[in-house]
Structure 1
């Protein structure tokens, strides 16, 4: 199976149907070494045989380039059965070329004519395909005879299929035949090839290979083999197999010694990623060594940037592979001096130049690792920490640094599977910070494996307790252990876990770091957050525009999840996703995707949610991050439930429960109950919906330290009132109002207000109207539509059908936009019961009418949003509904359409 070659295979199939006077009898593929020319010729031979053609083939060999007629001899042997039918001069020429008769080699003219006579004779009984691989290595005599043949095949049933390396001279191109350039395969095809041939590769390794190979199939197939037995994170240059090294060894070997030395210097300096190649040359005189590399096709000038760059990333690896360890250490030592004013680069190169343990260099690398992580370069941060461990003279320092590298691999770069191997080396030195760092990595691995929440918590608290005295907020390993403890407590979903964790937080000697404090206050127990927590959270979210640290970005965004603030971190989260896709913090890429899905659910961008969760869950499956996948499965399950995919939603809930039960992860059980509650509500199965909602947080309580209780207040109250439990519903509303939930976000204000309306028999209209008037509530499309639906139902039952139809029509519009089929059906049933029809939904709602009138005056979406206290996105959504309702295609037609609509109504 050839990946990414559909266009070329179609071209070959069309070519096989040639032979007419108008079609070319020659198809020439040209491309770089390893791009798949030979594989394409193999496929072409099969296509030819299936089409009833005889296929004969020769492959030119460089070491036979001086052998007269060597390639032609190989080609004509399968055709010698037609020899007796040729005239004597052509028969003798072919017999001499094939070694059947003695005699001087025929002249070029006779050889070409004889080859033409032989192939056309063979083609009398069956069409013929001649396949030639590696044309530039053809011996001159064979090449001239084949070029003669190619120019005289038009109108025959003989076809010539040729492959040549693009960087070498090609006699068929010189003869006037156009080359079809065989481009590298695209990223999707490269991924499919790697998954097909190497299914065990982790996603980040596969992505790194894909990025280095640049679509070269040979590199895609050989690089995984070169990585076998390579533990830990990937290095800056990937190891090459012998085949790949040979592709570039000749070119590099022919270069002057000074040029090879300069290229190694350039590779180790990390040029092309942070500086121009010219800028990292140590001396002006050194630039004189660059032209030979350009002439050899190793370097090229990028016309867009004006910079020199390697023609292919694998040349960098070949330069590295073909150098000695001593040459590399010498180059790194020079680079350390060259980067004396750049602490990060200096430390990195000192570390690579060292040949014996050195605590000073190890300490520098450890500090650089932290800087790199905060700058967003998590892969290199892990590599720096591992090198620091290797250079550590003291066993306890080595153990601590290896444990830290294991933590970075598990929680940041996606190397979950390699963590146990790294941690084995720390077991003999379980003291101090080494124990804390090791426990952090092990706890995370435990949660994603067969361990339970209690075991992970005990592991962390034991490591922290073994460290006497106050906890230093500047100690990164200790603070990471505390933040990991937050997530253990979150997934456990039990108050006693948080009580134990807060005892550890209280040990911090001075102020608890901001991220940890926000995770504790805003994420751990959002129902008890106050205005000061909201203020601190929003300031932290605003500060994310100034950082590239993927850990900080995802954790601050997580702190805002239950308080509906993830949207404020979208730009920063997308930066984390982009970094992960470039091979950076893959684990944080997963978390960022699922956080974006969280915001997509509540803002109604469900198609984007499905894309984000598909990518995130695929990475989780490939890397083994089962627990990390839980929020994504939950969000996807909610959308499946809302869109009527009941079996998929129920399956998601079941998977969450199966994982949660033996590990006692109550938050995952809450996820499952929430999904199943949402499966029941649109169908009016309120008794069952109530049981699921109350299993998360019993009526009248907001379970402490269970953030999920905040998300099901409206669901529980609606199910309670509609199943005859008005006392329970009232108690729950009272608990929500006492906690001040409505003050935490516009979405919660909308829902708590609507919940209070359901339990207020006297002022329910005013309470619903107040809830729907919440500034910014239009952003929460699905929740607002559900409130309008419930309000419309109440109005209908209170004999206000006209008012009911307004809200039911608005809800119906939104449910249709979201493709929420069960909710659409429920709204439509209620609309019909209120005396309306589907056509009522085509009338403009009051808010749509207001948007339309302002848009007709020429205001932009942003200006309209400011006038009506909406978001520009909500204005855009309204306009997308308004245009089809009015039967128009653009804003320019709004004024006339509104006038016609008004005339019809009068």
Structure 2
């Protein structure tokens, strides 16, 4: 199966079948390994399907100087036709094909003989000639074939060749049709890797895609050379090459002078082929002369605009390193360290690579470099640099601390949480007895994320923090990370009894916490009791994410905004984190970024996109062994399933969350399960069940500390209480929401709080509902707003204001239909019928106006565009669409075209 080659296969099929007009020659060009040979094999297979005879040859480098060597190979199967040729041509071909002795024919005679033989061999049938690796084709064979093919335009004989890009071959220069076979795009490369190596982790796939740069051979060969340990691939800075890749890439370097190879190694190790560094090296004696052979061989080129040295393919960089010795690499790093004397971080990195033994001063420098790399967003190198610092540490305690720090960074950033235990096992037992905060942090992170063992993780961290404080305090960055982990432990626990110790640790160990610690400790874990000052700080931190590349900071600040409806402001930074994860960077942060986008998607009604991002997020959680984080993805998928009436998915996800949470005492995951079931019950008018589930998360009339999820159930609990005959509980909860100042936290919460007031206080309901719908910017929260339109319409119908009721109910029904929220659509339709909707129930014929609206909507027009075309308001268009959905028995706008086609008995309306 050829991935991503649909265009090439279409071209080859038409070429083999003779459907490409007068083009009798097709030259496939492309870089080595791009798949040209595979396409030739596919074309031969297509020829077999069409009954086309095939003659093929593959040029060989060591035969490039053999006269007529490739022509001999190509025409050998047609040797039986030689006797039918005229004498001059017969004798010439016998010499060319080695069946007779004699002088080698001249180029003109050889070409004419080849022409005659091909005509005789083909007869009236089709004949396909296939020649691979034309860059090594001997010139005499090439000229004979070109002579013949220029005179075969009136026949059914065709030639298909493959050649490396820029090889300067005779066929490309002769003006024949050329098709450039491009590398695979990222999506197709991912599909190929998944198909061939389904067990490869996401981060590894991202790194392979980046280095292979769409080259299919590299994508298929690079994983073979990786070191696999414990089911995970270990990625060195330069990927190793298999023998096949060495033939493609490394062999091109072997013929370069030794000085040129040293020059290329220097450029590779400099990183990003820096123009300044290159200039410094070229300024040395013979520097320019050393580079010239590589430029002439097409291995590198210097960009005239930037001065940067660019390799033709990233794997040439791996080949340069692979062909070097350890001594050569250390020497290059020492030279680079001297050049970077004024850049302490880069100097330290190169000194670290050049070091041959323990060196505490250098280890300390590398530890600092690792931290800077982390904040710059270079996740992979930050972890690798910390490991190198550990290797160079003379003292056992420092080696253990840095190893543990590397293990934690690997878990936090690249998702290598399973490596934590392996790395910690390399540390001496005397240093891992609980006194090292770095060790405790790494171990606790693994326990929290893979096992959900919050009890052990919290005890380990609290004890280590106390020891650290008693000994005079340790590394502030490790202390801060330990406190971040404690906050997540407290959040997932959902238990009040854990928070006094966590708060005490925050106050005792870090009197002035970092901004992310303060934001997570406030807006995230306890948003109801957060002051306005912290909200201002949160907004400022969100704005600042535009200017940072640190994936940890981006995800933490966005997480702090999760319960306050602000994730929509930072979708672009979150997408950057996801893109970095796709490229093999901070994969663990990417999975959280995906779920945060899904969070925003649920409230904004982008449910199809939610399914897409949570699919990827949940797959990553499973792949990286992050079951606790997966709870957020299951919540979001469960909420969409509940709103759409997918009872099987609701039951499955709700049960999964509950069964995983119960033995581990993870109340937050149990609350997720209750939320899913509450929403499902509300949509199906099972209000007593809905109240029971909502009250499990947070009792009515109070907002408990450290129960942030209660903010997502304010309207749910109030509605369930009212509809189940618990009017007092509804009033208590609506009033508590207002007293807690939820209206000040976000526009969505202001809308929800007013709607809860309207439900709980019927005498003031119209004013409160109007106030809820008038909150600026709440059109973005489409599902919540549709629910409020439904509730308001129900109240208006009971107040006998039927015309106004139909207006709100129609708006709600249209939104529910577009979301696919079937149970809610049924509720709205039922209310519309009770409100005397014209033509309902049972009238299925579309009015002329409804037909016009339906056809324009099926063509992809928005409500506003339809209104402008038909001179209607957008709200009237929504009402007409609701009627159309009801009459056609559909719930989605995307189903209009097929439904209209079915009713008309034809292929569908004639719409653009």
Cα distance in 2, alignment partners of residues 429 and 248 from structure 1: 48
CA drift of 1:712 comes to: 0.7
Specify the alignment match of 1:653 in structure 2: 654
Q: Report the Cα offset of residue 407 of structure 1.
A: 0.9
Q: Provide the residue aligned with 2:867 in structure 1.
A: 885
Taking the TM superposition and a 5 Å limit, the aligned residue runs for 1:362-381 are 362-381=363-382
Partner of 1:901: none
CA contact (8 A) 2:748 2:781 kept: yes
In the TM superposition, 1:565-576 aligns within 5 A as 565-576=566-577
8 Å contact kept, 2:250–2:316: no
Matched, 1:829 2:834: no
Match of 1:868 in 2: none
Change (3 A) 1:157 1:775: closer
Equivalent residue number for residue 782 of structure 2: 781
- Name 1:394's counterpart in structure 2: 395
Cα RMSD between the aligned structures? 3.0
- Name the SS of the counterpart of 1:426 in structure 2: coil
TM-score normalised according to structure 2 size: 0.87
SS at match of 1:319: helix
Deviations 1:291-348 (CA, angstroms, capped at 9, x unpaired): 4332221223547767542222122222222222212111211211211221211111
* Mapped contact 2:480–2:513 kept (Cα < 8 A): no
Structure 1 partner of 2:131? 132
CA spacing shift, 1:661–1:510, aligned 2, 3 Å: closer
Give the superposition deviation at 1:714.
1.0
Instruction: Give 2:7's aligned residue.
Output: 7
User: Does 2:12 correspond to 1:30?
Assistant: no
Identify the residue that residue 242 of structure 1 maps to in structure 2.
243
3-state SS, counterpart of residue 39 of structure 1:
helix
Give runs of aligned pairs for residues 716-795 of structure 1, distance below 5 A: 716-795=717-796
- What secondary structure sits across from 2:29 in the alignment? strand
Classify 1:191/1:737 alpha carbon distance in 2 versus 1 (closer, same or farther; 3 Å): same
For 1:628, what is the secondary structure of its paired residue? helix
> How many Å separate the matches in 2 of 1:325 and 1:34?
28
Aligned to 1:863: none
Q: In structure 1, what is the equivalent of residue 500 of structure 2? A: 499
Which deviations, in whole Å up to 9, do the C-alpha atoms of 1:43-99 show, x marking residues without a partner? 111111121122222111111223333323322333334444444544444444444
Structure 1 pair 480/427, CA: closer, same or farther in 2 (3 Å)? Answer: farther
For 1:414, the equivalent position in structure 2 comes to 415
Q: Structure 2: how far apart are the matches of 1:100 and 1:829?
A: 91
Does residue 192 in structure 1 map to residue 174 in structure 2? Answer: no
Q: What is the match of residue 122 of structure 2?
A: 123
Maintained 8 Å contact 2:275/2:309: no
Partner of 1:150: 149
The residue number in structure 2 matching 1:453 is 454
What residue number does 1:79 align with?
78
The answer to whether residue 265 in structure 2 is matched with residue 283 in structure 1 is no
Q: The residue matched to 1:887 in structure 2 has which SS? A: helix
**1:592 shift after superposition:** 1.8
Deviates more, 1:731-740 or 1:588-597: 731-740
**Aligned residue for 1:798?**
799
In the alignment, what sits opposite 2:854?
none
Structure 1 residues 405 and 791: CA distance shift in structure 2, 3 A = same
Q: 1:822-859 CA deviation, whole Å, 9 max, x = no partner?
A: 333322332332234499xxxxxxxxxxxxxxxxxxxx
Q: 1:742 to 1:473 in 2, by over 3 A?
A: farther
Alignment partner of 2:867: what SS? helix
Measured in 1, the distance between the counterparts of 2:477 and 2:423 equals: 19
Q: In the TM superposition, what whole-angstrom CA distance separates every residue of 1:578-613 from its partner, at most 9, and x where no partner exists?
A: 333343222112212221221232233334433432
Q: 1:520 to 1:509 in 2, by over 3 A?
A: closer
Q: How far apart in 2 are the matches of 1:472 and 1:795? A: 64
> SS of the counterpart of 1:341?
coil
Does structure 1 residue 523 correspond to structure 2 residue 505?
no
1:304, 1:7 → 2: CA distance?
34
Deviation at 1:388, TM superposition (A): 0.5
Displacement of 1:614 in angstroms is: 3.5
In structure 2, the CA distance between the partners of 1:837 and 1:623, relative to structure 1 (3 Å rule), is farther
Residues 171-204 of structure 1 deviation map (CA, whole Å, 9 limit, x = unaligned): 2223332322111122111111111111121111
Q: CA deviation at 1:454?
A: 2.5
Residues 428/473 of structure 1: CA separation in 2 closer, same or farther (3 Å cut): closer
**Residue 316 and residue 153 in structure 1: after superposition, are their counterparts in 2 closer, same or farther (change >3 A)?**
same
Partner SS for 2:830? helix
- Number of paired residues? 853
Q: Which residue of 2 aligns with 1:435?
A: 436
Q: Cα distance 1:733–1:217, how it changes in 2: closer, same or farther (>3 A)?
A: same
Counterpart of 1:426 in structure 2 is: 427
The CA distance in 1 between the partners of 2:410 and 2:416, in whole Å, is 5
1:220-267 deviations in Å (ceiling 9; x for gaps): 122112223488863443222233233334543444444333322221
Stretch of structure 1 that moved more, 409-418 or 254-263: 254-263
Q: Is the 8 A contact 1:473 1:513 kept in 2?
A: no
1:683-732 Cα offsets, whole Å, 9 max, x none, are 32222322322232233443432221221121011012112222332333
Contact 1:439 1:460 in 2 (8 A): yes
Stretch of structure 1 that moved more, 606-615 or 779-788: 606-615
Query: In 2 relative to 1, CA 621–90 (structure 1 residues): closer, same or farther, beyond 3 Å?
Result: farther
Per the alignment, residue 882 of structure 2 pairs with: none
Once residues 280 and 613 of structure 1 are traced to their aligned partners in structure 2, the CA distance between those partners, rounded to angstroms, is 49
**Aligned residue in 2 for 1:872:** none
Indicate the SS of the match to 2:129.
strand
Query: Match of 2:897?
Result: none
1:563 Cα deviation from its structure 2 partner: 2.3
* Cα pair 1:471 1:507 within 8 Å, conserved: no
**Offset at 1:429?**
4.4
Aligned to 1:900: none
Separation of aligned partners in 2, 1:229 and 1:688: 50
CA distance in 2, matches of 1:818, 1:229: 45
Structure 1 residues 619 and 824, CA gap change in structure 2 (3 angstroms): same
The whole-number CA distance in structure 2 between the counterparts of 1:276 and 1:633 is 50
State the secondary structure of the residue aligned to 1:610.
Answer: helix
Report the Cα offset of residue 736 of structure 1.
3.0
Q: What is the 5 A alignment of 1:43-192?
A: 43-124=42-123, 126-192=125-191
Contact 1:594–1:632 at 8 Å: present in 2 too? yes
Q: For 1:306 and 1:883, how far apart are their aligned partners in 2?
A: 51
Q: Distance in 2 between matches of 1:495 and 1:41?
A: 68
Quote the Cα distance in structure 1 between the aligned partners of 2:43 and 2:245.
25
Q: After superposing the two structures, state which structure 1 stretch, 661-670 or 232-241, moved more.
A: 232-241
Q: For the structure 1 residues 141 and 434, does the alpha-carbon distance in structure 2 shift closer, same or farther, using more than 3 Å as the test?
A: farther
* Contact 1:432/1:467 (<8 A) preserved: no
Q: 2:275 touches 2:308 (CA, 8 Å); kept in 1?
A: no
- Report which stretch shifted further, 236-245 or 98-107: 98-107
Q: CA deviation at 1:646?
A: 4.3
> Distance between the aligned counterparts of 1:384 and 1:485, measured in 2?
26
Q: Report the equivalent of 2:560.
A: 559
Structure-1 residue corresponding to 2:901: none
Contact 1:27/1:162, CA 8 A, preserved across alignment: yes
Give the structure-1-normalised TM-score: 0.87
Verify the 8 A CA contact 1:699 1:732 in the aligned structure 2.
yes
Q: 1:509 to 1:197 in 2, by over 3 A?
A: closer
1:233–1:379 CA contact under 8 A, matched in 2: no
| C-alpha contact (below 8 Å) 2:227/2:233 kept by paired residues | no
Q: Within 2, Cα distance between the matches of 1:770 and 1:710? A: 19
Q: 1:571 to 1:169 in 2, by over 3 A?
A: closer
Equivalence map 1:612-761=2 (5 Å): 612-761=613-762
Q: Which residue of 2 aligns with 1:382?
A: 383
Q: Would the alpha carbon gap of residues 613 and 427 (structure 1) be closer, same or farther in structure 2, given more than 3 Å must change?
A: farther
